[in-house]
Structure 1
Amino acid sequence: PIAESQTIAQKAIGFLSRQLTNTDSFGVFLEPIIQVFRPNWRHGRTSAQVLFIKNETDDIYTLTLRPEKKWAGFSAGQYVQLSVEKDGAMLTRTFSLSCSPKHFLRTGEITLTIRANEEGAVTPWLNQALKSGDTVYLSEAQGDFQLSNSVKDKVFIAGGSGLTPIFSMLNEYQSNAWYKQAQLLFYVNNSQSLFFSEQLSHLEAKGLQVTTIYSDHQGRIDQQQLEMFVEDISEKEFYVCGPGKMIEITQSLLTSNTVPEADIHFEYFGQQPLSLEGMNADDADELIQVDYLDSRKQVTFDPQQFIESDKATLLEISENQGLKPVAGCRMGV
């Protein structure tokens, strides 16, 4: 009854706000007024102070922030939406936290380790424009890519900057009993792409088995590599994070090795594709409807335009319809 009453009240407040201010929240409407007295205040966001930026490689850097005290913290493996003001516009991107929750509780600081996409509007700019003392804005932490309660031995597979949420987990749980049986397979293009090598050596000293694979020379993950690096594959629990193609290949490999679906956990760094495999020309004649609950909008798209590529994403569908949803799937854009 209490939850139901809260839901009714929230709906009533939302309705009243839309009628009076043409927004879903009074906070959005009042934001310019509040900023007269508190310039750094943003509705629905927590401000954070930039402490410093460290270059890890030519295209990867770590941003260290101190959120204001009201920020609720996070669980290892989660991500945040980072908002920055650029040329008068507020831009938002999603990044995984690379530090551990224990580090945040001890220091009040968090780290975001970011790959700069040279064609992106935000990630290259952040590294050049931000300086110590600047203010950025954070959402609360989100995401279900977290450690389960399984007692099985754990294998972590990371591709490039997909290491960041896994690195958070490995730092958080290094004192746990399972740690000395855990493995990390870290895929990078070459030695110039390797980052966190000193920190990974420290985790190795704690008992973690770390294997670095240089894809330019050793190739990408396949059955041969999986058998070479992992014993008793079907008996392990896997955590996988990296580009979409890597996720798909790894999932397929693990499934073919009879790893139960419940023991395969993954996080996409990039767009998770919506497969249209098996859709024929007759099926493509029927439009697909997508409902957007928050904006109360409804759009349709013609699947025929995606048949040739066999892949589409919900973000692309939305943008093709003229919508501009806040998206976190373009990691590093």
Structure 2
Amino acid sequence: MVCLMRSVQSSMFNANSQSEAGVFRRLWRLCCQIALVQSGLRSYLEPVIRLMRPNYRAGLQSATLLSVSRQPGYLQMQLKAGRSFSGFVPGQHLDLTVELDGVLITRTFSISSSLQQFLQNRTLQLTIKVQPHSGLTQQLLARAGESLPCYVSQARGDFELEQSQSALMLAAGSGITPVHSMLSSLSRLTRPITLIYSYRGAGNLLFADSWPQLRARFPLLTIVLRDTSTEGRLTDAEFIAALGALKVKEGQSVSAGPQGATKEPMLYLCGPLAFSQYWQQQAKVLGISQIRQESFGLSQQSHGEAVPVSVTQHGRTLQFHSQGNLLQSLEQAGLAPRYGCRRGICMQCLCTKTAGQVRNELTGHVSDAGAGLVQLCISTALTKLELQLDAVSTATQDNNPCTT
């Protein structure tokens, strides 16, 4: 009997030890996962801070949405930046995050207003092309006049104007927005600049009131407004002619004053990806080595191509294409995945990946193609992906580290 009791006690002790060890391993793994994806102390403390400041988001600067107006095809947003926003260099861009029905939607836009406007009243203007299938622009249109929580990142980018040399600027569509910020921020101009702005149809001409004013202020500024619906696209011959005329004007401005020796003109390109790539190639053929460009549209370097995703939840399987943040893509597809902080902190959106690769948006880490755990709110699909949104597999938790 004594031997039997000792045997039972020994078995219970071993079972309890194994259970405690299992709990400890899970807690330790969770702590490691959190530590690996947080960018700072504020991210850890965000859930607590939001109890006192509901609109607080770690790493984001709060902003006040003052107004949203529309012209055909575009929205003009006026924002007042919070005290933590440190300013910008004309030509830079930022991330705008808007909270709509509890969902954070983030997009990147160039600042289109002048630096002087920001210095006077801390306001910024963003000029946004309306996308028929974009949830952000459609919601902003529907809720114009409402008070919406929004946030901005610090400005970034090196698409800046070098004022010590002449410049030929080619802009197309909404690619004119950073160029407008550059030119409207000028206080003086000592080198000639030629801007050729291509747009399709009179209704898509942005900043129509600004161009006559800028021409009047700066005699060395040449602005060519080209409506491609009636004039066609800029040709190679017209590009070469504009470059030649700029060089002549540069020589005249140098001979008329003490500005220094003539420098090769800088070429600035901003517009759709195909537009920028074409003119960059043409410039290299002509021997132009000084090029600054900012492009938008689908590319592997920016938003990536849409990736097929298969999701299983409650016994049902849904297939769709994801482009960008996985949590946002799932919600746009009509699913309701579990989430909490939406910033990679609380682990509420953790789910099982059975196949495919994802990138962690905070760390840049790329997962392997096998099974693992994924935080939806900070992950982007890179390859064909299979997700299980039901309860996270215990076996996966025990045997595989978090992949994002």
Short-chain TM bin = 0.7 to 0.9
Q: How many residues align?
A: 275
* Contact map agreement 1:81 1:139 (CA 8 A) in 2: yes
Distance in 2 separating the partners of 1:252 and 1:317: 31
Q: Which amino acid aligns with 1:183?
A: T
Worse-matched range after superposition: 130-139 or 240-249: 130-139
Residue-by-residue CA offset, 1:192-237 (whole Å, 9 max, x unaligned): 2112111111111112211011112222233122134332678421
| Distance apart, 1:131 and its partner CA | 2.5
Tell me the alpha carbon deviations over residues 242-291 of structure 1, each in whole angstroms, 9 at most, x when there is no partner: 0001001111111111111xx111001213457xxxxxxxxxxxxxx998
- Corresponding position: 1:203 with 2:214: yes
State the distance in 1 between where 2:190 and 2:74 align.
32
Aligned to 1:48, what secondary structure does the other structure show? strand
Query: What residue in structure 1 maps to residue 350 of structure 2?
Result: none
Comparing both chains, which one has the higher relative contact order based on Cα–Cα distances under 8 Å and sequence gaps of 6 or more?
A: 1
Helix, strand or coil at the partner of 1:197: coil
Distance 1:295 1:158, change over 3 A: closer
Equivalences for 1:1-333 in 2 at 5 Å? Answer: 18-19=31-32, 21=34, 23-24=37-38, 25-55=40-70, 57-131=71-145, 133-148=147-162, 151-178=164-191, 181-207=192-218, 208-231=221-244, 235-260=264-289, 263-272=290-299, 294-299=363-368, 318=382, 320-321=384-385
The alignment's TM-score, normalised by the length of structure 1, stands at 0.74
- In structure 2, the gaps of 5 or more residues are 1-27, 248-263, 302-356, 370-378, 388-404
**Aligned in 2, Cα 1:169/1:322: closer, same or farther, shift over 3 Å?**
farther
Specify whether residues 295 and 153 from structure 1 end up closer, same or farther in structure 2 by C-alpha distance, changes over 3 A only: closer
Q: Secondary structure at the match of 1:143?
A: coil
- Percent identity among equivalent residues? 27
What do the CA deviations read for 1:273-312 (whole angstroms, capped 9, x no partner)?
57xxxxxxxxxxxxxx998681533457xxxxxxxxxxxx
- Give me the whole-angstrom Cα distance separating, in 1, the residues matched to 2:31 and 2:112: 38
Task: From the CA coordinates, give the structure whose radius of gyration is larger.
Answer: 2
For residue 186 of structure 1, what is the amino acid of its counterpart?
Y
Which stretch shifts more, 128-137 or 59-68?
Answer: 128-137
Instruction: Give the TM-score normalised by the residue count of structure 2.
Output: 0.62
Equivalent AA in structure 1 for residue 200 of structure 2: N
The answer (yes or no) to whether the contact 2:100–2:148 under 8 Å persists in 1 is no
Q: Any gaps of 5 or more consecutive residues in structure 1?
A: 1-14, 275-288, 301-314, 324-333
Give the RMSD, CA atoms, in angstroms.
2.9
**SS where residue 122 of structure 1 aligns?**
helix
Q: What's the CA shift string for 1:48-90, capped at 9, x where partnerless?
A: 00111222x2111210011111211111111110111123221
Q: Answer whether contact 2:193 2:246 (CA < 8 A) is retained.
A: no
Name the CA distance, whole Å, in 2 between partners of 1:86 and 1:175: 42
Q: What does residue 306 of structure 1 align with?
A: none
Match of 2:317 in 1: none
- Asked if structure 2 preserves the Cα contact closer than 8 Å seen for 1:174 and 1:203, the reply is no
1:115 Cα shift? 0.5
Question: 2: CA distance between counterparts of 1:320 and 1:63?
Answer: 36
